[in-house]
């Protein structure tokens, strides 16, 4: 379970958000939505302690991430997989090695076992043939899928997605949405998806967190969101030109 | 204030690197890769720098001492000692600040702005152990080797220039060089190159590791890494000379 409590973050004099509190139950898929520049990705990075807040806490199974020692934090981070916006693939090594990377350092698997695991992960993201390619040869959608394969290779409990469909055509976006659903269902992963793509939200989310005007503006289930008359949320959905 | 803040961050990065230096298995592969990149791949530019420094110094020394007051072997003495004590280490250091420093800061800066460092951390890696430690260690280990290469080639360049220009034959050059050769000068040069290796790689790692702001940010980090490396090479050269000579 992820519990975000009274989180506040600012960069110098610029307040990003304050008083952000919500919780995510195990196995749930939660979408964090909001306009560009509202600090959604900043919030995601806090969930992995890649950034630290000015105040507040994020608890994973009751333990506050920001109070852990660095070695404890590194262990906790291994429960997470993150799909970064651009994939964040290591460009000095091949696609296969990118996916194999965590296995080589955190497991004692033999080479043939690593090969099997990597091929399995690449198969799950429909990229069986891409292993030998260099990362420079991959398209935007392929980079995200390889990033996803790398994120799931250690079988994490939590998967954090940072704008998984941004910059992709509608068809590839749908493929990524399908993958997110598949990961949540087949691997029983708790997912947090940062997005401003309402089409994605309606496809994948069970709960929705809406960040607006430097605070948590609305939090509820997808069904509640559809019924909500909260003006900023309604404006956001309307502006996204998506009919619920 | 900004300088103090940056110095604090730099010190903290070095402290983190020092603390994780025992995690050899994490950075072993990167260390050997950096030995090749910092050491082996710098040999051509260091050879070229050494040869031409020695050659030009020989021609200039001969020009300045063009009198019957000194024996011609003095050219070998001056060139040999200047190269061993000062030029091989400092000119080599400045060249490597450009070649090695720029590569390191660009590499790490690009990794930072493209979230590759965040990806490493998010997997549970200590990114400092993985990225900074091998680069600094490789710099410390390889710069003395490059210094010895530059010094040797510098003297060879001096010998060649003296012979080709008809200033003095190789035997006389070497006689002069041997006359004022003191092993402690080589030790001094090695200590300098060791310090330069640390200064250049650690500053470049710091600038790259803390880069922000996309392509422009990486460009700024690389420029600052190169300029600061050059400044601190010259500064540490002066401090070492004041302490050790």
A1-79+159-218 sits in which CATH class? alpha beta
**Among B119, B128, B131, which would you mutate to test the A interface (most chain A Cβ atoms within 10 Å of its Cβ)?**
B119
- Residues 16-45, chain B, touching A (beta carbon < 8 A): 26
- pLDDT, one tens digit per residue, over B42-64 is 999 999 999 999 999 999 999 98
Task: Return the pLDDT at A244.
Answer: 52
Structural contact between residues B218 and B117, judged by C-beta atoms closer than 8 angstroms: no
Taking CA–CA distances from A103, the nearest residue in chain B reads B123
- Whether the per-residue pLDDT at B93 is higher than 90: the answer is yes
* Rounded Cα–Cα distance for residues B128 and B114 (Å): 17
Q: What is the pLDDT of residue A242?
A: 60
| Cβ neighbours of A63 (radius 10 Å) | 12
The interface predicted TM-score of the complex, written ipTM, equals 0.89
State pLDDT tens for residues B164-200: 998 899 999 999 999 999 999 999 999 999 999 999 9
Of how many residues is chain B composed?
A: 245
Mark A85-107 as b/e (b = at least 16 C-beta within 10 Å): bbbbbbeeebbbbbbbbbbeeee
Mean pLDDT within A137-164: 91
Interchain CB distance below 8 Å, B116 and A89: yes
Kindly list the domain boundaries of chain A, sorted by start residue. 1-79+159-218, 84-155
User: DSSP assignment of A24-75, as one string?
Assistant: E-TT-EEEEEE-TTSSHHHHHHHTTTSS--SEEEEEETTEEGGGS-HHHHHH
Q: Give A174's pLDDT tier (boundaries 50, 70, 90).
A: confident
A85: closest chain B residue by CA: B115
Contact partners, residue B100, CB within 8 Å, separation at least 6 = B37, B38, B42, B139, B200, B201, B204
What is the model's pLDDT at position A184? Answer: 86
pLDDT of residue B139: 96
Instruction: Provide the token pair at A112.
Output: 């043939």
The rounded distance, in Å, linking the Cα atoms of A22 and A6 is: 9
Average pLDDT over all residues of chain A: 90
Is A108 in CB contact (< 8 Å) with chain B? no
Select the more confidently predicted residue: B150 or A179.
Answer: B150
Per-residue DSSP letter, A134: B
């Amino acid at each position: 379970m992820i519990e975000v409590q009274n989180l506040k973050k600012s960069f110098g004099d610029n307040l990003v958000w304050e008083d952000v509190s919500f919780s995510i139950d195990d196995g749930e898929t939660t979408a964090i939505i909001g306009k560009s520049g509202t600090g959604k990705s900043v919030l995601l990075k806090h969930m992995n302690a890649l950034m630290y807040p000015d105040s507040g806490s994020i608890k994973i199974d009751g333990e506050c991430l920001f109070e852990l020692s660095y070695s404890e934090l590194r262990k906790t981070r291994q429960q997470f997989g993150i799909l970064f916006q651009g994939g964040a693939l290591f460009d000095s090594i091949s696609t296969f090695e990118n996916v194999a990377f965590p296995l080589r350092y955190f497991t004692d698997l033999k080479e043939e076992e690593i090969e099997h695991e990597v091929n399995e992960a690449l198969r799950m993201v429909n990229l069986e043939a891409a292993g030998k390619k260099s990362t420079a040869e991959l398209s935007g959608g392929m980079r995200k899928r390889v990033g996803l394969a790398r994120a799931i290779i250690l079988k994490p409990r939590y998967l954090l997605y940072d704008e998984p469909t941004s910059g992709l055509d509608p068809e590839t976006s749908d493929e990524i949405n399908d993958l997110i659903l598949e990961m949540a269902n087949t691997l029983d992963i708790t997912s947090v998806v940062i997005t401003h793509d309402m089409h994605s939200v309606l496809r994948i989310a069970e709960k929705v967190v809406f960040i607006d005007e430097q605070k948590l503006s609305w939090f509820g289930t997808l069904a509640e969101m559809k019924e909500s008359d909260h003006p900023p949320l309604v404006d956001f959905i309307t502006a996204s030109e998506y009919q619920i | 204030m900004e300088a103090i803040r940056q110095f604090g961050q730099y010190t903290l990065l070095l402290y983190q690197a020092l603390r994780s230096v025992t995690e050899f298995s994490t950075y072993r592969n990167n260390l050997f890769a950096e030995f090749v990149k910092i050491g082996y791949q710098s040999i051509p530019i260091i050879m070229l720098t050494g040869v031409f420094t020695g050659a030009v110094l020989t021609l200039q020394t001969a020009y300045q001492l063009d009198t019957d007051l000194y024996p011609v072997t003095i050219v070998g003495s001056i060139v040999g000692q200047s190269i061993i004590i000062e030029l091989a280490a400092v000119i080599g250091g400045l060249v490597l600040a450009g070649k090695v420093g720029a590569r390191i800061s660009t590499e790490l800066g690009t990794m930072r702005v493209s979230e590759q460092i965040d990806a490493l951390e998010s997997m549970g890696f200590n990114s400092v152990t993985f990225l900074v430690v091998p680069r600094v260690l490789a710099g410390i280990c390889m710069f003395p080797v490059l210094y010895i290469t530059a010094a040797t080639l510098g003297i060879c360049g001096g010998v060649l220039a003296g012979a080709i220009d008809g200033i003095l034959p190789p035997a006389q050059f070497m006689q002069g060089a041997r006359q004022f050769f003191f092993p402690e000068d080589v030790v001094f040069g090695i200590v300098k190159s060791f310090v330069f290796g640390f200064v250049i790689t650690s500053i470049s790692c710091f600038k790259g590791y803390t880069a922000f702001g996309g392509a422009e940010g990486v460009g700024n980090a690389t420029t600052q890494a190169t300029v600061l490396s050059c400044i601190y090479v010259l500064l540490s050269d002066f401090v070492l000379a004041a302490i050790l000579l």
